[in-house]
């Protein structure tokens, strides 16, 4: 107990603890929510991510205050870099903002719950299995949810395809419309360079039961990351044909593309 409290005081300073406690999450009597988020574990995650965010990737976030301070909201970024580092950095940017911080929930690949230790750990940090029901229930709970409509098509793409948006699914738009959740587009620049992959060994991925098996260096490069948050986009909940939903998705995609271009033009060097 003594050692645990010493470790805790080292890793989690009082101001960080107060910061997290200030963000009220709908949790049960033992600090968990139905998806496995845990307030205490989150504090360790937050402390660790601070180092990664500030020291390793030296993230520059612009416009994070555009995310509404309360109510359901969908944060929709481009996806890249083999590992879900982009989701982690966006989540930290929002959780650490001075005014009205929020702990967003990131929707993760269906593969993660099957991985021992990692699956549970991600859940405790607030990541949630990317299932439409989960997303719907969380929006109904008034949460901020990070969704990557490109899915593994985005995160698993090769270095030669960097900053090219892959096909977006329409599911997020249906949910945003149904739950009247504004969509905040985000352009992530830099994560493409963290793990540049030159090929994907599909048979190996199939054999291992993982989404993709990239040929890449076995470490994460310290590329400088720029996060550009766009203005919230609000869509009505009228019954419209799927074609028009796709058009709306394309509007979001165009907004993200623009934010990526802004990030790329602002970027002075890769590292």
Partner 1 sequence: MVEKSRPQILVTGAAGALAQQVISRLRDTCNLVAVDFREQVYLGDDIPSYCIDFNKRSFEDLFRRYRFDGVIHLGRIMSSQLTRMRRYNANVLGTQKLLDLSHKYNIKRVVVLSTFHVYGAVAYNPALIDEEAPLKSAGLSADLIDSVELENLANIYLWRYPDLNITILRPCNIVGPGVRNSISTLLGMERAPVLAGFSPMMQFIHIDDMADAIVLAYNKPQRGIFNVAPQDWVAYQHALKLCGCGRIPVPSIPPILPRMILRTLNLRSFPSYLMHFFKYPVVIDGRAFAREFGFTPRRPLKEIFRFYRENKKPV
Q: If we measure between CA atoms, which residue out of 162, 163, 185, 170 comes closest to residue 64?
A: 185
| CA–CA dist 102, 26 (Å, integer) | 12
Q: For residue 197, what are the β-bridge partners?
A: 216
34 binds partner 1 (CB under 8 A): yes
| Residues within window 106-165 making contact with partner 1, judged by CB under 8 A | 110, 113-120, 123, 128-129, 131, 133-134, 137
Query: Tokens for 190?
Result: 């830099």
Residue 54 engages partner 1 in binding (rule: CB under 8 A): no
* Residue appearing with tokens 């003594």: 2
Residue from the set 16, 19, 32, 257 that interacts with partner 1 by CB under 8 A:
32
Provide the β-strand partners of residue 129. 108
Q: Which is nearer to partner 1, 7 or 254 (CB)?
A: 7
34-42, 171-179, 194-202, 219-227 -> range binding partner 1 (CB under 8 A): 34-42
Cα distance between residue 251 and residue 8, in whole Å: 45
Which range in 27-35, 78-86, 179-187, 188-196 contacts partner 1 by CB under 8 A? 27-35
Between 50 and 137, CB nearer to partner 1? 137
Whether 211 contacts 205, CB under 8 Å = yes
- Minimum distance between the CB of residue 203 and partner 1, rounded to whole angstroms? 18
Q: Name which of 52 and 115 has its Cβ closer to partner 1.
A: 115
Buried b (16+ CB within 10 A) or exposed e, 65-82: eebeeeebbbbbbbbbbb
Work out how close the CB of 63 gets to partner 1 at its nearest, in angstroms, rounded to a whole number. 31
Name the site residues for partner 1 (rule: CB under 8 A).
Answer: 28-30, 32-36, 38, 110, 113-120, 123, 128-129, 131, 133-134, 137
């Amino acid at each position: 107990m003594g050692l645990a409290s010493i470790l805790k005081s080292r890793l989690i300073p009082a101001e960080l603890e107060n910061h997290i406690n200030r963000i009220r999450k709908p949790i049960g009597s033992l600090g968990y929510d139905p998806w496995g988020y845990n307030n205490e574990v989150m504090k360790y995650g937050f402390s660790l991510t601070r180092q990664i965010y500030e020291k390793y990737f030296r993230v520059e976030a612009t416009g994070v205050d555009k995310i509404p301070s309360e109510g359901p909201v969908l944060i929709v970024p481009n996806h890249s870099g083999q590992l879900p580092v982009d989701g982690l950095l966006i989540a930290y940017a929002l959780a650490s903002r001075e005014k009205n911080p929020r702990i967003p929930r990131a929707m993760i690949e269906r593969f993660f719950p099957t991985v021992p230790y990692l699956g549970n750990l991600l859940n405790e940090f607030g990541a949630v299995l990317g299932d439409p029901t989960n997303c719907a229930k969380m929006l109904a709970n008034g949460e901020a949810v990070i969704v990557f409509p490109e899915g593994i098509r985005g995160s698993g793409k090769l270095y030669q395809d960097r900053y090219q948006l892959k096909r977006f699914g329409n599911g997020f738009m249906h949910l945003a419309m149904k739950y009247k959740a504004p969509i905040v587009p985000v352009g992530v620049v830099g994560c493409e360079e963290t793990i540049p992959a030159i090929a994907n060994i599909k048979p190996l991925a199939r054999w291992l039961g993982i989404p993709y098996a990239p040929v890449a260096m076995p470490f994460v490069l310290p590329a400088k990351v720029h996060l550009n948050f766009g203005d919230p986009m609000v869509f009505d909940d009228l019954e419209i044909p799927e074609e028009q939903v796709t058009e709306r998705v394309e509007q979001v995609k165009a907004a993200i593309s623009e934010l990526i271009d802004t990030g790329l033009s602002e970027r002075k060097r890769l590292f």
